[in-house]
Amino acid sequence: MKLQKILLIMLSAVTIAACSSNNAGLETPSSDLYLAKAEVSVASSQIYKAGWSSPANYAYTNQKTLKIISWNVEHFVDQHNDPYVNNSREDDAQHMGNKRADLVIALQQANADIVVLQEFESAKLLREIASTDLADMGYQFFADAPSHTWYMNVVIMSKVPLGVMYNYGNLHTELVNWRDEDGEPATQSRLNTRTWAIEVYPSDTYSFVLGAVHLKAGRDERDIATRLGQINMLKAQFERFLNEDNNRNILLVGDFNALPNTLELSTLLAGTNAGNTFVDPLGASDFTHPAIAPVRRLDYAVMNHNMHAEMVPNSAKVITYFDAQRQDDLADHLPVVIEFFLQDAPVKNPAM
């Protein structure tokens, strides 16, 4: 018992001394203590990189910027009939004409680091094009989240490494404020294969989440309600990324099938902080549809304020590569391109 008391007294003395030392340290903090805290903060904020490694055969360059192109290329299919997809355009590719050859020319001219295509059959087809017609351009990474029963998918190819892909095809999303003729609410999941997000690692010090979509087409109340449900789902998923790290950069590209002044766009852009408030950098006269004589914009590249800080000024543009008729023969939408500096910059909080 005496020995236990002695040990207890010694332990108490050590504890008191340690507490006194810690309290003194708070008055005049040591750089080592604050460095340790900073290291813990950085480690916890990048938990999403756990388990990820740069590809063994890939070497980062010293490039300073990253270029992205997003494009709805209209019913772009391969020469093979998928027995699980019942559609005449997919069954017979005669409508393709010169679409493949002209897409190759356009992508060569664009020379983007990341290519995101909507209404494109598969990443398998894109990989084949990259390995043959674009073999000298450095595209190494490919991904998609294809529908089991449809051919108009959203695909990506990239010169820089990709991380985890988040496929929202299994999610049911509500039709916001919509009721059927019996007054019943509705949900849908069929179109959500055309919405996904993927982590992108263009340098060893910079990363972002890239979302890509082809939202529901049409302008009737049900179409709008469907898009709003898809947008609400995306905003909720983005909050998950921000919960991991509130400094995460998020970019969303694609065919939104909505005009800039609509409820859908205002819902998407709105937020309460730099992470969940988004910016549309294109102007009122930047039209993307129809390609032969554009009069409206359906296609976008919007980013949160975290990432807007790195956007190359005036780099967001609607592009044409051919004369109007040839451009329209390739696709009825025009592509959107945008560039970013590969270094985190100070973020300006959005005006609320």
Instruction: At 223, list the tokens.
Output: 């179409």
Read off the pLDDT of residues 260-292 as tens digits, 9 standing for 90 and up. Answer: 999 999 999 999 999 999 999 999 999 999 999
In this prediction the pTM is 0.86
Beta carbons of 115 and 134 less than 8 angstroms apart = no
Averaged pLDDT for residues 89-103: 87
Residue 56, CB-side half-sphere exposure with 13 Å CA sphere: 0
Measured distance CA(335)–CA(337) in Å, rounded: 7
Averaged pLDDT for residues 142-153: 90
Name the residue with tokens 């690692």.
Answer: 201
Q: What is the DSSP letter of 194?
A: G
Instruction: At 69, list the tokens.
Output: 């192109």
The alpha-carbon radius of gyration of the chain (Å, integer) is 25
pLDDT of residue 192: 95
Q: Is residue 12 predicted with pLDDT exceeding 90?
A: no
Confidence band, pLDDT 50/70/90 cuts, at residue 13: very low
Instruction: At 260, list the tokens.
Output: 């800039």
pLDDT of residue 292: 98
pLDDT of residue 15: 43
Averaged pLDDT for residues 314-327: 98
Dihedral over Cα of 132, 87, 106, 122: its sign: negative
Would you give the distance in Å from CA 107 to the centre of its chain? Answer: 20
Superfamily of domain 61-341: Endonuclease/exonuclease/phosphatase (3.60.10.10)
Which of 29, 122, 69, 2 lies closest to 299 in space, CA to CA? 69
pLDDT of residue 306: 97
For the chain, which residues make up each domain, given as ranges? 2-45, 61-341
Which of 281, 294, 301, 315 lies closest to 110 in space, CA to CA? 315
40-44, 70-74, 118-122, 140-144: least confident range: 40-44
Please provide the size of the chain in residues. Answer: 352
Percent with pLDDT over 90 in the chain: 75
Read off the pLDDT of residues 16-47 as tens digits, 9 standing for 90 and up. Answer: 444 444 443 333 333 343 333 334 334 445 77
pLDDT of residue 112: 98
Instruction: Note if the bond before 346 is cis, omega within 30 degrees.
Output: no
Q: What is the mean pLDDT of the chain?
A: 88
Instruction: At 293, list the tokens.
Output: 């004589």
C-alpha dist (Å) from residue 4 to 8, 9, 121, 327: 6, 9, 75, 88
Percent with pLDDT over 70 in the chain: 87
